[in-house]
Amino acid sequence: MSKITAAITAVGGYVPETKLTNFDLEKMVDTNDEWIRTRTGIEERRILREPGKGSSDMAVPAIQEILRKKNMDASEIECIICATVTPDMVFPATANIIADKIGAVNAFGYDMSAACSGFLFALTTGATYIESGRFKKVIVVGVDKMSAIIDYTDRTTCIIFGDGAGAVLLEPNTEGLGIQDSILRSDGSGAKYLHLKAGGSVKPASVETVLAKEHYAYQEGQAVFKFAVKGMADVSAELLERNHLTGDDIAWLVPHQANLRIIDATANRMGLPKEKVMINIQRYGNTTAGTLPLCLWDWEKQLKKGDNLVLAAFGGGFTWGATLLKWAYDG
């Protein structure tokens, strides 16, 4: 019997309609379009403005797009893994709320908290379910409503984040296509540079925590930047080396969209020209767990069966990693 690999067989995405441009931010904090564009590459980001709406409300249309494309009923989904740091609620898992909203009555699901590497970690986990032979239809969704945890008076942090969702369907493949290899890493000593101070079990929500703005993302940008440049580039280069590949063998780099300078450094290290790098940071900013699947969503039509893709991410935790996959269908 041929080996079972886990292939992405469909992609869906969703970004809210409301745009928050650099020029809008100029009116909110002491910043300017030129600084944001040259330091990050971002021009605008999407914001989920409607009150009472959360991450599940973006994940649902992304998954429904997959169901439409595959002419598939939600009851066929066996598992939903939702990568997010902005769940609808602390519990239950947003994956369960999503399952209920789309009618995935036969699916089990849970959330994965690995910040910007969340989608990559969830993809690897979902792939092992498929590779085991036990499951045949796994949804992996990366979604974040970063606007829910951003302090729009903190100019260094508020300019980079946005809201959005992307999802993929994983199915078994016997032609050797799909996920080939992954290197995933975590280092909890990096937590001090990027975290949310209150609302967890160490510091439950109180009037004091709200007044101290401790429910917003805290980021020491420069420190994170340094680790991100090295982490994402190192792991991507290591992945190529251990699979005996060079930049010439790679059709696309799919990098986490946190800062254009981090993306450029990773591409350079891998010996990849800009034309082979998916970049949509200018339109969406950093959607945390949403960036990688949103790239696949935007580039789906250009992808060809057999293309080698490297997905790479770095984020809070610290968490980072890279995944090599062979695309399974013509876009």
**Contact residues: ligand UT7, CB under 6 A:** 31, 35, 39-40, 116, 155-156, 159-160, 194, 221-222, 224-225, 228, 258-259, 262, 286, 315
| Catalytic residue (one of 96, 173, 259, 286) | 286
Cβ atoms of 315 and 258 closer than 8 Å: yes
Cβ atoms of 6 and 177 closer than 8 Å: no
Least distance between ligand UT7 and beta carbon 109 (Å): 24
Q: Which is nearer to ligand UT7, 87 or 109 (CB)?
A: 87
With a CB cutoff of 8 Å and minimum separation 6, the contacts of 189 are: 318
Q: Which is nearer to ligand UT7, 9 or 40 (CB)?
A: 40
Q: Which is nearer to ligand UT7, 130 or 160 (CB)?
A: 160
Q: Which is nearer to ligand UT7, 40 or 280 (CB)?
A: 40
Crossing angle of the two packed helices 118-131 and 291-299, in degrees rounded to 10: 70
Q: Which is nearer to ligand UT7, 2 or 222 (CB)?
A: 222
| Three-state secondary structure call for residue 168 | strand
How many Cα atoms occupy the beta-carbon half-sphere of 133 within 13 Å? 5
Among 139, 58, 82, 129, which Cα is nearest to 106's? 139
Among 290, 285, 263, which Cα is nearest to 21's? 285
Q: Which is nearer to ligand UT7, 69 or 185 (CB)?
A: 185
Q: Which is nearer to ligand UT7, 55 or 180 (CB)?
A: 55
Least distance between ligand UT7 and beta carbon 41 (Å): 9
Q: CA-to-CA distance for 193 and 187, rounded, in angstroms? A: 12
Nearest residue (beta carbon) to ligand UT7: 221
Cβ atoms of 112 and 118 closer than 8 Å: yes
Q: CA-to-CA distance for 142 and 119, rounded, in angstroms? A: 5
Crossing angle of the two packed helices 55-70 and 94-102, in degrees rounded to 10: 50
* Bridge-based pairing state of the strands 19-21 and 138-145: unpaired
Q: CA-to-CA distance for 274 and 268, rounded, in angstroms? A: 9
Least distance between ligand UT7 and beta carbon 204 (Å): 26
Neighbouring-strand partners of residue 292? none
The two structure tokens encoding residue 208: 């004091």
Least distance between ligand UT7 and beta carbon 259 (Å): 4
Is 295 considered catalytic here? no
Least distance between ligand UT7 and beta carbon 269 (Å): 16
Is 286 considered catalytic here? yes
Least distance between ligand UT7 and beta carbon 225 (Å): 4
| Catalytic residue (one of 256, 259, 280, 295) | 256
| Catalytic residue (one of 82, 116, 158, 295) | 116
Least distance between ligand UT7 and beta carbon 262 (Å): 6
Three-state SS annotation for 226-274:
HHHHHHHHHHHHHHHHHCCCCHHHCCEEEECCCCHHHHHHHHHHHCCCH
- Look up residue 51 and give its amino acid: P
- Residues designated catalytic: 116, 256, 286
